[in-house]
Structure formats: C-alpha cells, structure tokens
Amino acid sequence: MTATASHGTGPFIAAIDQGTTSSRCIVFDRDGRIVSVDQKEHEQIFPKPGWVEHNATEIWENVQQVVASAIEKAGITAADVKAIGITNQRETTLLWDKNTGEPVHNAIVWQDTRTTALCKELGRNVGQDRFRRETGLPLASYFAGPKVRWLLDNVEGLRERAERGEILFGTMDSWVIWNLTGGVDGGHHVTDVTNASRTMLMNLHTMEWDEKILESMEVPATVLPEIRSSAEVYGQVKGGVLDGVPVASALGDQQAALFGQTCFAEGEAKSTYGTGTFMLMNTGDKVINSYSGLLTTVGYQIGDKKPVYALEGSIAVTGSLVQWMRDQMGLISTAAEIETLASSVEDNGGAYFVPAFSGLFAPYWRSDARGVIAGLTRYVTKAHIARAVLEATAWQTREITDAMTKDSGVELSALKVDGGMTSNNLLMQTLSDVLDAPVVRPMVAETTCLGAAYAAGLAVGFWPDTDALRANWRRAAEWTPRMDAEIRDREYKNWLKAVERTMGWIDEDES
C-alpha cells in the first residue's frame, strides 16, 4: 500500500502502528494528511486451538523496515521529522531478557485463550469481577496480567530470572520503544497509561501498578515498565534512519483511533473495524463503572494533564472472520470479495454466523462460547453465509451500542467509524440499518496512526492544542438507515437466538 499526496516541505510527524496482523509506518504533514505509508504483515502462529502467538523479533525487524521505507518514500530525512509516535495492538504480552534483548518466548496475543482456567482460579469465590473496581476489567483471558503469570509459570527457570531482575515485561508499545531508544544499550523501559490499563495490573484511580493485584497475580514488580502519560518525550531514537528523533507518544491502537477521530469531548465515540472491532466513548474525567458488560479504560493522557477515561465495547472477531473465510474456507480470494459475494443475494437466507472463536467478548465475557452458524437449511448458499458474515459485525456493534446507551445514558446520534472494513459499503449500510443511526467516516481512515501522530505532535509543540486537530477532521462518507423497524426487530431477535447457541460449548474440564 502506498499513498503520496501533495504536501509542503514539512516538517512532519511519523507514527508506527504495530498491529495484530501487520506493522505500518505513516508520515503525516501538518494538516494531518498522509505523505507516505509502508506496511508489512507478520506471521500468525496457532500452536493449538485457542492459542495465538507472534514472533516479537520478526515484529521488531518489520517495524525497522517499514520506518525506513516510509521515510524513503516521503523523500525526507530524520531532520524533517519532529517526533515519532507509537500505537500498538493491545494486551499482547512479551517477556524479554534485559541483557541480551532476546524474547524468552513468543508474544502471547490478545486473542489467545490459554489463560481461561487461570482466570477462573484467580476469580476465587468472587468471580469475574474480583479486580473490576481497581482495573475496570473483568477477569478474562484477553488481558495481559494473566498472560505474564502463565509465562512465569510455564517457561522453565523464568520466575527465578525475573526475580533476579533480568527479565522485562511489556506490551508491544514497550517492546518497540525499548528497542527504538537503544535496546540493551540504554533503551527506555516504559509504557503509557492506556496500555497499562489493559494489563489488569494498573489501578485506574491512581494510574500506578496495584501492589495487591501484583501479589494475587504473582507478578514481580521487577519486570514492570514505568507508567507514563500518552503524550510526552520518552527518549530519542538511537540508530537507524530516525536517529535522534524524539519518541513522543504511545497509545493502545483503539485509544489512538479515539484520539485520531478527535473524540476529545465527553460523550463522543468511535468504532474501529479491523481484526476485531472496538467502540470507545470518551467519559471525561469520570471513571464510569459498567453494569452492561463494557470495560472501563483510560482514553488518553496528554503530558501532565488529567487522564481522560473511556467506556469500551470490545468485539474479538470481525475483520478476522473475513480473513477466515478467505484463508481457512477459501470461499473468497480477497477481503473485498466478501462484498461482491454478499451482494449477489437479497438477504441472509435465514443464516446467522456468530464468530465466537475466542469466546465472546463484550457484553458477555463468556470464554466457554465457540462459533456457530445457525439457521442452516438446504436453501443456504455461500453467498448467504457471506452476508451473515457481514451482518455478524453489524449485530455485534448493535449489542455494544445498546450497552453503551445503558451505561452512559447517552443516546447514539451518529457513529464515527474507521478501519479496514469501512471500505465495505454493504457493511456500512447494514451497520446504519441495524443501529438505526447515521454512520460517518472521516477522510483519513487510518485514524490509529493519525492518533499516535497527533499525540506525538502535541508533545513536541508541532500542533498547539486539540482544537487545531479537530479542524483537520473531515467527513468523507455517510450512510443513513433505510431498514424497516419490523425487519430490524425480527433480525435482532434471530441474532440473539444464535448467540445463545454459542454458550457453554467448552466444558469446564476442557479449558
């Protein structure tokens, strides 16, 4: 993927997006326009059903390559780049050796379910909400803390090495920043509040590691990075094409998209359609507890300003279901073909596809669920299934927006969307139909990188304030609802019936 827009002579801000399926680097100009892009996919490693890993060394090599290539495509040098920002797949967990820089194991990816039994055990007699008051999160295999514990328990000799202070933990932001700023040669071991809020080890109210939880989770404090704001200079790049450039932001990818969509006011929300789908609503300085299955998380923190919180609805499988149709089923050969195939029929033919591949995330948090295709008859074709695939994303969003309305009391007036799946017109129309609300997409659909760039630019004074960033937001497309209320209600009911059928598939002793 390349994009070259007309741009002035700079200066520029660069952003690295270390995502679940790929790493990319984008160079932006002062108007928030894309100057150049480079992107590289990395291997998805599935050692067992439910297990998902990444090779962190491969990822770091890819990051260096995409940075070098994006800078080259832009035809600029380090001197033209005022700062670089980092955004990343969240929760994916890595431990590495401080002295050699070598990972001690593959990174355990957020989708991985190997800690399901451990999470149950950690819940003790309290259950899933044991740490919710402190962390805003239910005990689920999704989060990083239990993954750290699993590694310490399962990699031979690791706990002893960790206790001797030889091992560092980080989500991918920490790994990338540590390497960028020198690695074994003085690299900075830091994370930002948004990433830390997904470990289940940080207290949302103090923004510090929670000693009691560390003790319960048996994670030694020696491995932990320092928690910093999302927009400040952590250090300078050491070596490579950006030698000397300040590393000035870090945000989990979904929080970065919230920032890139300029959702700076309380009540503003966005939904990002990539591998999974994540809707976040800015709740200002309020930590809103969810009673409807949403997460409470940190939205962002700019330098020494107060942190801004968010409510989040997380959906594990959306774009990855399209990938699955392509790679595992072979029913399409490109992701875009799902639209062509789905458009060849009028409706879903009675079929509903609930992709509970990693259990169900929001609003259910059920690790015992697994995927189902319900409503099959001899009538159903692959085109109907393609339609059910797209509808799955729309209905999962509907469940999240319903929960959001319940928890926040704010009715959805319009949904700001972004991410790779938003290029699918049929999906966007279906989304508007099932939400019964307008769906709007901005000019720059790469809001994840844009958000990281915005935060880095604010940190170094490249942009004066968030108002300047708001002025860059431009609407590119809008879809409005045109589905009959009666049909919507019937279809929603059917969808919920299909969801019920995913539950309880995994028996307790199987997990």
How many residues touch Mg ion under the rule CB under 5 A: the total is 4
In the complex with ligand ATP, the residue whose CB is nearer, 193 or 421, is 421
* CB of residue 93 to Mg ion, shortest distance in Å: 18
Q: Candidates 202-210, 268-276, 332-340, 484-492: pick the segment binding Mg ion (CB under 5 A).
A: 268-276
Give DSSP secondary structure letters for 114-131: TTHHHHHHHTTTT-TTTT
Q: How far apart are CA 303 and CA 228, in angstroms?
A: 8
Q: Candidates 99-107, 331-339, 372-380, 490-498: pick the segment binding ligand ATP (CB under 6 A).
A: 331-339
Strands across the sheet containing 231-236: 34-41, 22-28, 12-18, 81-88, 246-252, 231-236
Peptide bond into 363 cis (omega under 30): yes
* CB of residue 37 to ligand ATP, shortest distance in Å: 11
Segments of 301-379 assigned E as strands: 308-315, 352-354, 372-374
Q: Does 275 engage in binding with ligand ATP (CB under 6 A)?
A: yes
Q: Does 20 engage in binding with ligand ATP (CB under 6 A)?
A: yes
Q: How far apart are CA 164 and CA 188, in angstroms?
A: 19
In the complex with Mg ion, the residue whose CB is nearer, 26 or 362, is 26
In the complex with Mg ion, the residue whose CB is nearer, 146 or 274, is 274
Q: Please state at what angle helix 447-459 crosses helix 253-260, rounded to 10 degrees.
A: 80
List 19, 276, 319, 359, residue binding Mg ion (CB under 5 A): 19
List 290, 320, 429, 430, residue binding ligand ATP (CB under 6 A): 320
Q: Candidates 70-78, 224-232, 235-243, 419-427: pick the segment binding ligand ATP (CB under 6 A).
A: 419-427
- Among residue numbers 200 through 239, which ones bind Mg ion (CB under 5 A)? none
Tell me the residue length of the chain.
511
In the complex with Mg ion, the residue whose CB is nearer, 210 or 253, is 253
From residue 342, give the alpha-carbon distance in Å to each of 330, 381, 388, 392: 15, 10, 8, 13
Q: Which does 338 bind (CB under 5 to 8 A by kind): ligand ATP, Mg ion, none?
A: ligand ATP
From residue 121, give the alpha-carbon distance in Å to each of 218, 446, 504: 13, 39, 18
In the shown chain, the binding pattern of residues 86 to 105 toward ligand ATP, with x for contact by CB under 6 A and - for none, equals: ---x----------------
Q: Does 419 engage in binding with ligand ATP (CB under 6 A)?
A: yes
* CB of residue 481 to ligand ATP, shortest distance in Å: 20
The helix/strand/coil state of 482 is coil
In the complex with ligand ATP, the residue whose CB is nearer, 173 or 232, is 173
* CB of residue 203 to ligand ATP, shortest distance in Å: 28
Q: Are strands 308-315 and 295-300 parallel, antiparallel or unpaired?
A: antiparallel
List 85, 103, 146, 274, residue binding Mg ion (CB under 5 A): 274
* CB of residue 419 to ligand ATP, shortest distance in Å: 4
List 339, 391, 407, 491, residue binding ligand ATP (CB under 6 A): 339
Q: How far apart are CA 170 and CA 189, in angstroms?
A: 8
Q: What share of the chain is helix, strand, coil (3-state, %, to 5)?
A: 35, 25, 45
Q: Does 170 engage in binding with Mg ion (CB under 5 A)?
A: no
The CA angle 326-330-336, to the nearest 5 degrees, is 35
Which H helix or E strand runs over 295?
Answer: strand 295-300
Q: Summarize as ranges the residues that interact with Mg ion (CB under 5 A).
A: 19, 253, 274, 448
Q: Summarize as ranges the residues that interact with ligand ATP (CB under 6 A).
A: 19-22, 89, 253, 274-275, 319-320, 322-323, 335-336, 338-339, 419-421, 423-424
